[in-house]
Amino acid sequence: TYIVTDACIRCKFTDCVEVCPVDCFYEGENMLVIHPDECIDCGVCEPECPVEAIKPDTEDDPDGKWLALNSKYAEVWPNITVKKDPPPDYQKFETETGKLEKYFS
Protein backbone atom coordinates (compact mmCIF):
# COMPACT_ATOMS: atom_id res chain seq x y z
CA THR A 1 0.00 0.00 0.00
CA TYR A 2 0.91 3.65 -0.22
CA ILE A 3 0.76 5.89 2.84
CA VAL A 4 0.72 9.61 3.63
CA THR A 5 3.57 10.81 5.85
CA ASP A 6 4.85 13.81 7.80
CA ALA A 7 5.25 16.28 4.91
CA CYS A 8 1.47 16.43 4.43
CA ILE A 9 0.85 17.88 7.88
CA ARG A 10 -0.38 21.49 7.64
CA CYS A 11 0.28 21.56 3.88
CA LYS A 12 -2.62 19.44 2.64
CA PHE A 13 -2.41 20.28 -1.05
CA THR A 14 -5.02 17.60 -1.87
CA ASP A 15 -3.75 17.11 -5.44
CA CYS A 16 -3.53 13.44 -4.50
CA VAL A 17 -7.26 12.89 -4.08
CA GLU A 18 -8.09 13.81 -7.67
CA VAL A 19 -6.08 10.99 -9.21
CA CYS A 20 -6.88 8.04 -6.96
CA PRO A 21 -8.93 5.50 -8.96
CA VAL A 22 -10.47 3.98 -5.83
CA ASP A 23 -11.03 7.19 -3.81
CA CYS A 24 -9.23 5.96 -0.73
CA PHE A 25 -8.08 9.26 0.80
CA TYR A 26 -9.49 10.44 4.13
CA GLU A 27 -9.22 13.93 5.57
CA GLY A 28 -8.27 15.07 9.05
CA GLU A 29 -7.82 18.62 10.26
CA ASN A 30 -4.09 18.74 9.52
CA MET A 31 -3.40 15.95 7.04
CA LEU A 32 -4.82 13.25 4.81
CA VAL A 33 -4.37 9.50 5.10
CA ILE A 34 -4.75 6.57 2.70
CA HIS A 35 -6.85 3.56 3.65
CA PRO A 36 -4.34 0.72 3.33
CA ASP A 37 -7.02 -1.92 2.72
CA GLU A 38 -8.56 0.08 -0.11
CA CYS A 39 -5.38 1.25 -1.86
CA ILE A 40 -4.64 -0.87 -4.93
CA ASP A 41 -0.97 0.15 -5.09
CA CYS A 42 -1.27 1.86 -8.46
CA GLY A 43 1.22 4.56 -7.45
CA VAL A 44 -0.34 7.40 -9.43
CA CYS A 45 -0.78 9.63 -6.39
CA GLU A 46 2.88 9.55 -5.39
CA PRO A 47 4.20 12.06 -7.99
CA GLU A 48 1.17 14.34 -7.56
CA CYS A 49 2.12 15.50 -4.07
CA PRO A 50 4.20 18.71 -4.24
CA VAL A 51 5.93 17.93 -0.94
CA GLU A 52 6.47 14.21 -1.55
CA ALA A 53 4.39 13.14 1.41
CA ILE A 54 3.13 9.97 -0.27
CA LYS A 55 5.32 6.89 -0.18
CA PRO A 56 5.06 3.13 -0.50
CA ASP A 57 4.84 1.69 3.01
CA THR A 58 8.02 -0.22 2.28
CA GLU A 59 9.96 3.05 2.22
CA ASP A 60 10.84 5.40 5.11
CA ASP A 61 8.60 3.65 7.63
CA PRO A 62 10.82 1.10 9.35
CA ASP A 63 8.80 0.89 12.54
CA GLY A 64 5.42 0.98 10.81
CA LYS A 65 4.43 4.20 12.56
CA TRP A 66 2.95 5.87 9.48
CA LEU A 67 1.21 2.75 8.25
CA ALA A 68 -0.47 2.42 11.65
CA LEU A 69 -1.50 6.07 11.62
CA ASN A 70 -2.98 5.79 8.10
CA SER A 71 -4.88 2.62 9.06
CA LYS A 72 -6.25 4.11 12.23
CA TYR A 73 -7.52 7.42 10.89
CA ALA A 74 -8.81 6.11 7.56
CA GLU A 75 -11.46 4.37 9.66
CA VAL A 76 -12.45 7.57 11.43
CA TRP A 77 -11.99 10.55 9.13
CA PRO A 78 -14.33 11.39 6.22
CA ASN A 79 -13.53 10.46 2.64
CA ILE A 80 -12.21 13.23 0.37
CA THR A 81 -12.32 13.06 -3.42
CA VAL A 82 -12.33 16.70 -4.53
CA LYS A 83 -9.31 18.99 -4.36
CA LYS A 84 -9.55 22.06 -2.16
CA ASP A 85 -7.27 24.97 -1.28
CA PRO A 86 -4.40 24.25 1.11
CA PRO A 87 -4.40 26.02 4.49
CA PRO A 88 -3.62 29.77 4.10
CA ASP A 89 -0.32 29.42 5.97
CA TYR A 90 0.87 26.23 4.24
CA GLN A 91 4.14 27.85 3.10
CA LYS A 92 5.38 28.03 6.67
CA PHE A 93 5.29 24.26 6.93
CA GLU A 94 6.47 23.08 3.50
CA THR A 95 10.05 22.39 4.49
CA GLU A 96 9.55 21.62 8.15
CA THR A 97 10.15 18.08 9.39
CA GLY A 98 8.98 16.24 12.50
CA LYS A 99 5.56 17.84 12.18
CA LEU A 100 3.73 14.87 13.66
CA GLU A 101 5.13 15.53 17.11
CA LYS A 102 4.52 19.27 16.89
CA TYR A 103 1.14 19.63 15.30
CA PHE A 104 -0.75 16.39 15.10
CA SER A 105 -3.75 16.15 17.31
Residues that bind ligand F3S (CB under 6 A): 4, 8, 11-16, 32, 48-49, 51, 53-54
DSSP string, 10-64: TT---HHHHH-TT--EEE-SS-EEE-TTT-----TTGGG-TT--EEETTSS-TT-
Shorter beta-carbon distance to ligand SF4: residue 9 or 57: 57
Interacting residues with ligand SF4 between 44 and 83 (CB under 6 A): 44-45
What gap in Å lies between CA 25 and CA 16, rounded to an integer? Answer: 8
Q: Which of 18, 29, 42, 47 binds ligand SF4 (CB under 6 A)?
A: 42
Return the DSSP state at 103: H
Tell me the window of 36-44, 60-68, 70-78, 86-94 that interacts with ligand SF4 (CB under 6 A). Answer: 36-44
Residues making contact with ligand SF4 (CB under 6 A)? 2, 19-22, 24, 34, 39-45
